[in-house]
Structure 1
Amino acid sequence: MKLSKKHMWVLVALLVFAVIVALPLPAALTPQGQVALAVMVMAVTLWVSEAVPYIVSSIMIVGIGAVAMGLSPTSDGLYGTKQALREFLAGLATPSLALVAGGLFIAVAMEETGLHKRLAFMILDRIGTKPRDLVLGLILVSAAMALFVPSATARSGALIPVVTGMIAALQPKKGSKLEALLLIVTVLSISIWCFGIKTSAAQNQVALSFISASYGVEISWLQWLIYGGPLALLVSVALYFIAPLLLPVDASEYRSDPALMRSELEALGPVTVREKKLIVYSLALLGLWATEKLIHPIDSTTVTLFIFMLMLLPKIGIMDWQAVETGTSWGTLLTFAIGISLGTILLNTGAASWLSEQTLGAMGVESLSPLVVTLLLSVVSVLIHLGFASATSLASVFIPIVIGVVELMPISATTAIGIIIIQAFVVSFGFILPVNTPQNMLAFATGGFTARDLLKIGLPLTLIALAIIGVLAGSYWQWVGLL
């Protein structure tokens, strides 16, 4: 039987795992660390090749990793499969997983009530229908949605159908780049606001879990906004200016009727009771997130789950559990949890530190300034991201390596945490290829733009974003105490 390309990649991943485990143990690495590195390389191979679905790769990570680590030697005998399995499933018991789950559940509420459509058309109605106005409107919609929907995938799933419906209503002429422009701006602005708001993306929670485990420090919602908000705002401004220039569209190429969005909004009818309830819950959630550590001690995860609980209660609720059960991507949650587990194992076994010392450490990072190391790591992250289809998976592997790098440097814990947070921002720079993020792939699947269209905007935007990081790292982030 002839093996398919995907089957071949699975065999390659397993072979690479076996080879790394069979190699002589380096002097500075434990047997458990060697297994952790082997599992990491296997996982990266599966993720980059997309040989199997992410949920299947997660199950492979747990099954193969737990057996291999359990049978690895210690000074007292074998490590034990029960202990190894406990570590590979540890991500299922993290507050970060609960926050991501709560975010996906609230996204279901947006879908159930249709509030996302009303929000989009309200903003666009006030902005206008000229090409640059539409770009600004979609950026604002993405930013607003990021405040209330803590999942980039959920936001894209909600917004892309709205945008495609809007494009159909605009009736672009054949050959117009309007569809490409609007879809690309939508997904890129979704990615941009992933690093602007703490609760807007799963990869942020991955990084925060590792920071908490390594340094015992919790970053509040407002602190993250102070650090990441200006970066997201500046990159959004860059997108606003370069997108219409690189994919030019004239208002004569489509139905640019100022009353168009108003008609779409009126077609939705009056605001429903469920929408009003969701607005109240969303504003309460945002207020509690923003005032964490300022006027109350309740963390973001607990706040999210509490508000979600209210949404399910009789009378005051807005949906039932069946809607949540059918509308939630449970595989996404398991993949997220296993990613946290893998990263934690890389840290706890010393594998991340060893790998950092053998790679970036060999370049003499301990003698470089925090600014130079920040830029160097940012470039490395962008290059690695070209092969990843998930920022969450990238964060699971890359952030532990970053922690290993900063541990080599003679810097304070505050500066070290700052470098890690900035790299958590860069993990969301999936601007270049359709396969870089789920939102890119969802939009690309509509057929509204080509990979070249995305590259034409995404590559310059990435370079501008890296330049902005350099400027902020040398000024603003030092002023606010991040670096």
Structure 2
Amino acid sequence: MSENTKKTPYKTIHVLIGLALMAAVILMPQIAGLSTAGQRILGVLAFAVYVWVTESMPYPVSAIAICFSMIMCLGLSPAVGTTGKLLGTTKAIPLAMSGFVNSGWILVAAGMFLAEAVRFTGLDRRIALNILKVVGTEPKRIIGGIMIAAYILAFIIPSIAARAAALIPISMGLITAFNVDLRSVFARQLMLVTGIIAPITALMVLTAGAPNPYTVGLLSSQLNHTVTWSQWLIYAGPFSIALGLIAYVLVITMNKFETLPGGPALIEKYMKEIGAMTSKEKRIGIIFLITIIFWGTEHWHHIDANTITVFATLLLFLTRVATWKEMSDRVQWGTLVLFGIGISIGEVLLKTGAATWGAQATLGSLGLQSMSAPMMLAVIAVPLIIIRLAFSSIVALGALVVPTILGLLVSFNDPSISVWSITLISSFLVYFSFLLPVNTPATLLTYATDTYELKDMLRLGIPLTILGLLVYVLFTHTYWHWIGLL
């Protein structure tokens, strides 16, 4: 019997448990202070979280199941409150699919086409190799070079997994070229850093990770507050760089690296293999340069990042960098479906009042309302890091955490609390995926190379998480306060 066949009954049991959880929440007596639709959507959320945590269904399939469940639960519930005329499935469909008309979804969808175009032309590999050519071939310099490459690619490839996929072949190529053992200190730390740096860099740029536009989209739709591309860079960039520096210092101080043979000649060899820059690389490079300039100057021309990204995607096809078929075959449509449904859950949780109720039930007893903003963020951070361990999808985690915190802050009805900024800063914590390989596709991909073990990740991840949280708290009292975010 194959391994997949053995797993099938196990996954089926978990799907049934997830359905039972949903049914239990839906069928329990009416919860005080919660609408019928809100209670039923909490049941859908329980199902979603369970199948996401157990990975008992492929993420795209779970998204379809969640969408259908939302349509039925909303459609067969009173339009308002607990009694009265049913909303109907026809009117429920736009609510369940609201994530697909959200500005955040549009940004990610267009960004994925651009990301695949960069990989398709090979521009990502050229950028990384040129960085390594500059920094040198000593172990510490190579690791630093890979991290710098990841930060630069964050402006170009708006996908954590795609950035990791772009850097992994280069890291593996260096390990092979230097003829070092896969379990050598250099190989282990290089591949570990390649996985960990991907989510850290995603925090820096609005377009570098799906939870960023998701959060901005919710702030826009629920609070009518806009966060531009350049504003996000100002808010999150320094914190992202601080996390990267901590990771680098930990790696180079906690390990003694062996001497690598070959030197700069190896990089030159790889540069010769990729040859001169092609016309397609030049075209996509120019498109991205123009796009980044327009992203960064949004406050001058007032064209939002979503529109700019859609136009950049159009240029990709008009300039014949790639054809529609070439790109559509490479784009991960399942990820887009999951992201859209993830946004929809957040929207529906907020609209039905379920997010506010859930936040009060889980975090309300912590006495957050009487705390200062920095203290509030520090108290919220610990449970969020613990919850982070249960998720392998950053998108799925964001769909749960962001509307919950937003709902809680809105329920306080306190004009002295900056709801949007506290929600924004709290969302940064979804990127703290430094402890388990399964917590993000990037570390899962690097773990699959069999270069490092779980103990290697924990050895780096535990101090990185602790120091990262301390820096997070420090930023709430200093930098974010100085720039007027808190």
Smaller-chain TM-score bracket? over 0.9
Aligned mates of 2:98, 2:416 — CA distance in 1: 25
Residue 121 of structure 2, aligned match among 105, 113, 119: 113
SS at match of 1:198: coil
1:87 correspondence with 2:95: yes
Aligned mates of 1:415, 1:480 — CA distance in 2: 14
Is contact 1:366–1:408 with CA below 8 Å preserved after alignment? no
Aligned to 1:164: 172
1:183 correspondence with 2:191: yes
Aligned mates of 1:220, 1:90 — CA distance in 2: 22
Deviations 1:341-361 (A, max 9, x none): 001100010001001111211
Aligned mates of 1:28, 1:435 — CA distance in 2: 37
1:23 correspondence with 2:28: yes
Aligned mates of 2:68, 2:181 — CA distance in 1: 53
Aligned mates of 1:96, 1:353 — CA distance in 2: 22
Residue 461 of structure 1, aligned match among 464, 467, 472: 464
Aligned to 1:440: 443
1:40 correspondence with 2:31: no
Is contact 2:171–2:190 with CA below 8 Å preserved after alignment? yes
Deviations 1:403-449 (A, max 9, x none): 12222446547722111111121111111111100111111112121
Deviations 1:366-395 (A, max 9, x none): 112211110122222111110101111101
Aligned to 2:409: 406
Identical-residue share of aligned pairs (%): 33
Task: Give 1:247 deviation, angstroms.
Answer: 4.2
Aligned to 1:420: 423
Aligned to 1:261: 267
Aligned to 2:392: 389
Residue 66 of structure 2, aligned match among 32, 57, 61: 61
1:102 correspondence with 2:113: no
Aligned to 1:77: 85
Residue 303 of structure 2, aligned match among 298, 306, 319: 298
Aligned to 2:254: 246
Aligned mates of 1:112, 1:15 — CA distance in 2: 44
Residue 278 of structure 2, aligned match among 268, 272, 279: 272
Deviations 1:237-274 (A, max 9, x none): 101110133343222xx325133212211221111111
Deviations 1:122-164 (A, max 9, x none): 0001101112111110110000000111111221222212221
Residue 350 of structure 1, aligned match among 350, 353, 370: 353
Aligned mates of 1:214, 1:413 — CA distance in 2: 18
Residue 134 of structure 2, aligned match among 107, 126, 139: 126
Aligned mates of 1:323, 1:390 — CA distance in 2: 27
Aligned mates of 2:37, 2:411 — CA distance in 1: 21
Residue 15 of structure 2, aligned match among 10, 17, 24: 10
Aligned mates of 1:286, 1:141 — CA distance in 2: 17
Q: Give the partner amino acid of 2:338.
A: T
Task: Give 1:175 deviation, angstroms.
Answer: 4.4
Is contact 1:130–1:256 with CA below 8 Å preserved after alignment? no
Q: Give the partner amino acid of 1:272.
A: T
Structure 1 residues 86 and 274, CA gap change in structure 2 (3 angstroms)? same
TM-score normalized by the length of structure 2: 0.95
Aligned mates of 2:316, 2:128 — CA distance in 1: 22
Aligned mates of 2:233, 2:382 — CA distance in 1: 23
SS at match of 1:25: coil
1:481 correspondence with 2:484: yes
Q: Give the partner amino acid of 1:376.
A: V
Structure 1 residues 311 and 471, CA gap change in structure 2 (3 angstroms)? same
Is contact 1:195–1:424 with CA below 8 Å preserved after alignment? no
TM-score normalized by the length of structure 1: 0.96
Aligned residues: CA RMSD = 1.6
Task: Give 1:50 deviation, angstroms.
Answer: 0.2
Task: Give 1:174 deviation, angstroms.
Answer: 6.4
Aligned mates of 1:409, 1:469 — CA distance in 2: 24
Q: Give the partner amino acid of 1:218.
A: T
Aligned mates of 2:269, 2:418 — CA distance in 1: 52
Q: Give the partner amino acid of 2:330.
A: G
Q: Give the partner amino acid of 2:17.
A: V
Structure 1 residues 413 and 331, CA gap change in structure 2 (3 angstroms)? farther
In the alignment, structure 2 segments of 5+ residues that lack a partner are none
Within a 5 Å distance, the mapping from 1:318-329 to structure 2 comes to: 318-329=321-332
Is contact 1:131–1:244 with CA below 8 Å preserved after alignment? no
